[in-house]
Structure formats: C-alpha cells, structure tokens
Amino acid sequence: MARSTHSACTSVLVGKQATLDGSTLIARTEDNAHACNPKRFVVIPEQQHRKDIFTSANNGFIWELDGSGLRYTATPEVNTGEGLYEEAGINAAGVAMSATESTYTNEYVLAHDPLVKDGLAEDALVTVVLPFISTAREGIERIAQIVAAKGSAEGNSILLADANEVWYLELATGHHWVAQRIPDDAYAVCANRLSIQEVDFASDDFMASEGIRAFVEKHHLNPRPDTFDFRRIFGTYSQQDTHYNAPRVWYGQRLFTPGVVQEPEDLNLPFIRRADRLLGVDDVAGLLSSHFEGTPFDPLGSEGDERTRTRYRSIALSRTQEGHVLQIRPNRAPEHAGIHWVSLATTAFSPFVPFFANADQSHPAWESVAERPDPESAYWLLRTLGMLAENRYELVARTANDYLKASWQKAHEFVAATDRTCAGMTGAKLTATLTKLNSAFMDRMLTDLRSVLQDIVIASAEDSRLSFDMDANL
C-alpha cells in the first residue's frame, strides 16, 4: 500500500507579471502525519541513464530511466525505506518542480476510474520527472506519459515553473487529470482540494488527459453540462474541506487581495486571483509560515477563544517538515536564474535560506542523515527551535521574530552580493563559486541559529516556575 503520511500541504503559485522582479514563483509546505520526519536538502548530480529501472520502495511503481538526467536540488527523506520523497527542486535547465500537494476526488468519479495501487505516487514524482525536462510544459507532458502508461496511485497536485510559465497539474483519478497555466498577472493558493475550475479545452493555457470529456459524459458526472468545471465534477465539498482546506485558501487570498471580503468556510473561493500589489519571495514565504495571525483563528494568538483558535487547520504546523519557495529569475541564463529557498522543520519559526541552484552540493548540516535529534543537523536544530518557541511563545515570540527578520535581511544581502560577485561568470567557474558562497552563507545561518537557541534556553530558564524569590540578604 502507498504510504499516506504525506497527506497535507499548502501550495502557492505566482506568475511573472505578478512578482516584484519578474520572477516566477512556486512554493509549498510539506506536511506529515508525524511531528518529526527528518528531511535533508541535497544536490543530486547529473547522471547518464541507460535504460535503468527505477522501483519505488513505497508502492512498487516501476519506470525506465533513459538518457541524460540533469543535476537538481531536492529535499528527500532521511529514512528512504518507504520512498525517496524528494518533494521539490530546480534542475540545471532552470525548471522548478514541487510535488506534491495531496488532493481528493469524490467517490462518484473514482468509482469509474479508481486509483492504481502501483501507479505514480508522490515518493517518485520528482525523481522520475525533474531531471528529464527543460521546460514546465515538458514536465506536464512527461507526467501525462507516465500516468497514461502506469496510472496514478494518489490524488496529487503538482507545481511546475520555468522563467516564462507557471503550471498547476491536478491528478484526480487513476488516469484523468487537468493542468492550467497560471496567468502571468495572477496567483493561486491551493490547500488539499482540487482547485482548477472551468476548463477551456481550446486554450493553450490548459492541458488535460486524453478522453476526459468523453469519460465525464459517458458516466453522467457533470452536474452543470453547460460548462466543464473540473473542481465541481471531480472535487469534494465536505466538512473536511470546510474546516481543513478552505480556510487556508481564504487566508492566503486575504493577505494578497485584502480588498475582497470573503468567508473562511466558502467552498467556492476562486482558483485564480490578482493581488493588490506585486508579490515577492518574502510574501509567499510569509504565507507558508503563517498560522492565521491577526484573526481569532490563530492557535498561538490571543484573539478569540479556545474554540475559535482550534476551529481551522493552520498553514504552518508542528508537523510541517520543510517549506520551499522555488524562484526562477528573469533575464538570466538558466545557470544563474534559479534560487531554491528552503526552510527545514516548522516554517513558523525556521528561516527560508536562499540556495543558488547551480551548485554541486549544499552543506553538511543541511545534508545530515540523523534520524534522531543531533546538534550537527540543521533539521534537528530548527525542529528544536520550533518546539521551544511554540512552548514558550509569549515569552520568546519577539526573540524568534527578530531572528527571522534579521535572517530575511541577511538573505537578501547575500543574494545581491552573490549576483555582484558572479557577474559575467559562466560554466564550471560559476558553479564552483556558487557552491562555495552558498556553503559560506549556510555557515552564517547555522551560527545565528545556534545563537538564538542559546538566547531562548537562557530566557526560558530564567522564567522557570521552579523559582522562589528570597530575601537578598539570605
């Protein structure tokens, strides 16, 4: 059976005309059923495949890998016994991919095209697709080829981007799917529901599985035959959607388009939205780090009451294992366009560290294979930070927020300085320089992380309830 612990994520996609600098942005949290499921951040080297057989440790899915596999960044599991789950990365051609956000299809549709037990699943998607594509559209086409041949084991939504286009693909059943290009001037926030709405089969901005319209017509699945609303036909409208999924979309649209008043339990929130301002990496990462701040629904907040603060599922969770913003910058060669912003452990308290994707390796602390808490592991240090900050939130919130703000400033300074240093560089020299600069910056982040942990431990010790005020003369 396919593992079901990777069951909840939040996705954000932003077109190039909707961003501050013309970048395309795709981003997601990776959530798990367990609080501690350690992740690594690594670079997978270029490989030459000669009809190599990939076999999933998760569900036995098999696919032949042939030809040149590009180098790419990834965040695999530390324990790969049940699958790689590489999740997200940017390849050497400047293509970004994030897979997957788990999504759910209604039982009426699945009755006619059930999921395939040993079909393509989340654990394998990045591994068998990202190294072999040079555009986002090619990513859609490769996934379509695999699903047509082997089927899909899960309902999954997949994000793809290059310097020009951003795509969102929803695998709904064993063999049927729809993909939509996000308009250049728009964004989308998605949260474990099928999101794509009306499909224009004549438009180049949509792609779909072969025979999907005939499938729907044959089985009388469309409640509104005058249009083809993918969400309405294939999706769910459940109590779980009301409390678990829709509020996250509502909050994202509330942050980016505050001029539109909506309700958090509205199951008909639009898929495509235009923001009230141009969006940056900080905005997208901020959403992935959020927990309904400024509303009565914040589980760490003081507004509302116990009932409202536990009413909805937050975006950042204790069981978030990593978050990423994949940025493909404009007017640059692919070798200098991609930045993989990575946040290990709980995004509410972990900084997003910029990593120039054209590098040969990341950093030993981020590559750590420690399965249990380890002071040399970035994942475990950040997991410790999140635990301490959440447990003593009122006491240390300001310290944690100051640390995150300082990290953002240093991150942007690093990106700007690296661009200046690498101006005019190409080829092996550029790769070697970016590798060195990435690692040095991660050293700085590690030093800052250990320092803030020390501050929080000291502050928490001083505030212990096992204290007693004595006369100063005693």
Residues involved in catalysis: 9
Q: Is the dihedral of CA 290, 294, 297, 300 positive or negative?
A: positive
Stated as kind and residue range, the H or E segment containing 66 is: strand 62-69
Q: Classify burial at 10, counting beta carbons within 10 Å of its beta carbon; exposed 0-12, middle 13-18, buried 19 or more.
A: buried
Are 194 and 235 contacting, i.e. CB atoms less than 8 angstroms apart?
yes
Q: Is the dihedral of CA 182, 188, 191, 193 positive or negative?
A: negative
Q: DSSP letters of 273-327?
A: B--SS-B-HHHHHHHHT-S-TTSTT-TT-SSS-HHHHTSS--SS-TTEEEEEEEE
Identify the three-state secondary structure at position 203.
Answer: coil
Which residues are registered as beta bridge partners of 170?
157, 178
**185/77 Cα distance (integer angstroms):** 35
Q: Quick one: tokens of 231?
A: 């969400």
Are 404 and 351 contacting, i.e. CB atoms less than 8 angstroms apart?
yes
Q: Quick one: tokens of 373?
A: 């808490």
Q: Is the dihedral of CA 74, 80, 84, 88 positive or negative?
A: negative
DSSP state of 152: B
Which residues are registered as beta bridge partners of 178?
170, 208
